[in-house]
Amino acid sequence: MNLTETFISPFDLLQEKILLWYNQGLNLLPELFAAIVVFGLFWYISNITEPSLKKLLSKSFTNTGLANFISVLIKIVIIAFGFILAINILKLDKAVTSILAGIGIIGFALGFAFQDMAANLVSGIALVIREDYPFKVGDFIETEGLQGFVREIDLRSTTLETPQGHNIIIPNKKIYESHIHNLTSLGKRRIDIDISVDYKEDLERVETVAKDAIANLSGLSPTEKVEVFYQEFGEYAVKLKLVFWVKLKEGTEHVRARHLAIKLLKSAFDNNGISLPYPVNKIKMI
């Protein structure tokens, strides 16, 4: 063997390998085409099935979050089934098994790096698995110092819409680990209004006028009474707290109820000559 043959042999071997792979690729083209078609078909089916399934499940479940979760889960199952069929068509199931085994080992190591993602997933499942607990889509809640309507619960996060019209996306882990105030679960909400009246006023009369004024407010809870509690003798007035409950369905009725109540109280006090004092700064003359 001369020097020229020594240098040419590796190139000949590489050429043979490339030709072999090329021929194998040509032989694999029909199966590859069939696998792509099958996987694409299942992908298409999953995409057209998800919205219809979500609408159907929303009619069966009052918990919209659970309906969304089940529809997404079924979509993933359909796509996974299509992937398995495509792999079987290509006869790569053994190779894929070996790859998945390797990925499993790597995934175990990476699990620590993505533990927050896993925690959000588990928390998302926990939030939707029990109907109405701790909240459902449409409820008005307070969590992490934020208030808003629950618009969507998915596997990673929960979307709130604030009364100002802003969307806030909160990771499920943070919600699940935080205090949650579901402001619509009871269907009613208490409103407290602090009032100060002049020392010269008849407190019994003030109480009667205040209760009668609120009695005309629409949306009062029929199961609760309007109450007045005197708090203290202030520096310049007697302080009292007016307490009443309003029916709550959308979650923000209490804002308008407080607005109307203050207007009714002011009008009633004016009509009955009840004075609402305010602080006066006294200047000492030297």
Return the CA Rg of the chain: 34
pTM of the model: 0.54
- Distances in whole angstroms, Cα of residue 163 to Cα of each of 160, 169, 220: 10, 15, 22
| 14 HSE (CA, 13 A, CB side) | 5
pLDDT digits (tens, 9 = 90+) for 70-113: 787 788 888 888 888 888 877 766 655 555 555 555 555 445 54
Most confident of 2-16, 114-128, 168-182, 195-209: 195-209
Q: Where are the domains of the chain?
A: 3-110, 132-182, 188-271
CATH topology of domain 132-182: SH3 type barrels. (2.30.30)
Look up the CATH architecture of domain 3-110.
Orthogonal Bundle (1.10)
Please calculate the CA angle 184-185-187 and round it to the nearest 5 degrees.
65
pLDDT for residue 233: 92
pLDDT for position 214: 93
Is the domain covering 188-271 a CATH 3.40.30.10 domain?
no
Q: What is the per-residue pLDDT across 191-237, written as a single tens digit (0 to 9) for each?
A: 999 999 999 999 999 999 999 999 888 889 888 899 999 999 988 89
pLDDT at 156 over 50: yes
The residue-averaged pLDDT of 139-150 equals 85
Q: Is the pLDDT of residue 283 over 50?
A: no
d(CA 18, CA 130): 58
CB atoms within 10 A of CB 167: 11
What percentage of the chain's residues is helix, strand, coil (to nearest 5)? Answer: 55, 20, 25
